[in-house]
Every structure is written in C-alpha cells, then in structure tokens.
Amino acid sequence: MDTELARTFLMVAATGNFVAAASRLHVTQSTVSARIHTLETTLGARLFQRGRNGAELTPAGKRFMRHAKHLVRTVEQARHDVGLPQGFRDVLTLSGRIALWEGFLPHWVAWMREAAPDVSLRLEIGFEPDIMQGLIEGSVDIGVMYTPTSRTGLEVEPLFDEILLLVTSDLARSWPDEGYIHIDWGPEFHAQFSDHHPDVPPPTLVANIGWLGVQQLLAYGGSGYFPQRLVRHYIEAGQLWHVPGSPQFKLPAWMVFPRDSDSVTLKSALDGLRTLAREEQARP
C-alpha cells in the first residue's frame, strides 16, 4: 500500500475534515478526496462519514487507524535505520516548542549525550499541530509542548509548570502600555489573561513565538508575559523588570510519546526529561 495514502488518512483523521487536511498536506481538496477514495476502494470499506461537523471515522476507519500508524511508522523507522550514522545503535527524534528549546531542552540533549552517547538525535522546532501529526505518523518520537491534544495510542504526561511573568523594559511606564506585545501561549493563557485583565483593549502587537517577543522588548521596549525561565537572566541583568502587583499565570509543559513502545532508547530519553523537569520545577 502507498504510504502517502496512509499519511493522508491520518491527516484527515487528525484534522477532522478534508479541507484542513489538504491545507496541511499542501495539496488540493480533490487530491485528498481521491486518495481517500482509492484507499477505501482498496480496503473495500468506507473509512469516513462526512457531515456538517467534518469527516468522522467510521468503525472500519477506527480499526484501520492502528494499521495506518504502523505502516507509516515502519517506513519512518526504516529511514532512520538506513540513515543511521556509523557507530550509533539507534536514532531518536524530538520536536518541541521554541520556548522550551531555551534553557530546558538543550539540557536534555546534553543529558542524552552523556547517558546514551551511541544514540543519534534529530532535533526539531514545531507548533502543536505539526508535532502531534509527526507523533501520529511516527516521524517524531517525543513531542514537548504546551497544548497537546489527546490521540489514540499516544501518552500525554505533564513535565513542569511554566510561570508566566508580566515584564517590562521600563518600570516608569504605566501598564497596559502601547508597547505591550501579546504572546499566543495557547487557550489556557488567553482564558487566564481575560479573567484578570478584562478591561485591557485588544493588543496591537501579537506574536506566536516568545523569543520574538523578548527580542522586540529588548530592542524597542514594551511589555509582555513570558516564562520566568526565559526572562530570569534579563531581570537579573537589569534589562527587564517584573511589573509589580501583576498576576502570574501557570502554563503546563507536557511531553507526548507512543504509549505502547518498547524502545529502550525512548524509555531512557523520557527518564531524562522527567529528571530535568523535576530540577526545573524545584528552581526558585
């Protein structure tokens, strides 16, 4: 079976409709429909039931899900094994949000280099939808993110709570100020922010990456909510200040991985993340 058909099936299942799947796969909706039709003809069963709410898996589709994942993972594992550098016994791919690559995940890389020096690492930056899709397809072994979604066959485990602080480049400026940059930390942050700041007008500056917001503040001034990990050294250096009396918000960081994997490499990598998460949580 063509693995492209299986990938398309998994994308439709993940997004819940053909239009979104086509956009994510960078193909036309008719191409997605044709691939699903070919797959259904090959299997002799209807895999999706289309309706107002999009495309829902039929009982046959739910049964095929496990086989599609296995097919794609087998191909990805073959690519890993064939491309394995000489002297290494295994390869592992981790994809995470860019904010978690600052001050946390690099420590995990160092931990892995010491604990498993014969494991080749593939490191990626991604947003939740892409990371989750990589996990479903098997191209990603571990995803580290803020707003995971529940998917069959994947384990979602908490790592630690980020503490989001409101920081400013100038304590003399009243808040909210014109330079406030609103970072998209996900729906939980939006809900907390709206509850505590109901009268704040819609922001004129919005970014989806915390690093981008920090650079904006350092270069041009302003304010914004950022993980304490990211701004701790800027506060200590006197480049940014915590806005007095401002509420702090929690943003949980999670790791997602295959539930039924018996990989020794994966187990070691997860243990490393848990160890470093406990150390991070214990920091003042």
Alpha carbon distances (Å) from 180 to 31, 213, 231, 249: 43, 9, 16, 17
Q: Tell me the DSSP string of 1-44.
A: --HHHHHHHHHHHHHSSHHHHHHHHTS-HHHHHHHHHHHHHHHT
Structure tokens at 256: 């997602």
Which pLDDT does position 72 carry in this prediction? 81
pTM: 0.75
Which pLDDT does position 109 carry in this prediction? 97
Which pLDDT does position 142 carry in this prediction? 97
> Position of tokens 């086509």?
22
Looking at per-residue pLDDT, the higher value among 225 and 281 belongs to 225
Q: Return the CATH number of the domain spanning residue range 89-284.
A: 3.40.190.290
Looking at per-residue pLDDT, the higher value among 284 and 46 belongs to 46
**Tens digits of residue pLDDT in 10-62:** 889 888 889 988 988 889 999 999 999 999 999 999 999 988 778 889 999 99
What is the average pLDDT value for the chain, to the nearest integer? 90
Which pLDDT does position 124 carry in this prediction? 95
Q: Tell me the DSSP string of 120-185.
A: EEEEEE--HHHHHHHHHHTS-SEEEESS----TTEEEEEEEEEEEEEEES-TTS-SS-TTBEEE--
At 271 the three-state DSSP class reads helix
Give the torsion sign (CA, 66, 145, 128, 58): positive
- What is the percentage of the chain residues whose pLDDT exceeds 90? 61
At 95 the three-state DSSP class reads strand
Structure tokens at 99: 């904010």
Domain range list for the chain = 3-78, 89-284
Q: Judge if 3-78 and 89-284 fold alike in CATH terms.
A: no
**Tens digits of residue pLDDT in 53-78:** 788 899 999 989 888 887 887 777 67
Residue type, 96: G
Looking at per-residue pLDDT, the higher value among 91 and 2 belongs to 91
At 248 the three-state DSSP class reads coil
Residue-level length of the chain: 284
> Is the pLDDT reported for residue 119 higher than 80?
yes
Alpha carbon distance 153, 28 (integer Å): 29
Closest by Cα among 231, 240, 244, 106 to 164: 231
Topology of the domain covering 3-78? Arc Repressor Mutant, subunit A (1.10.10)
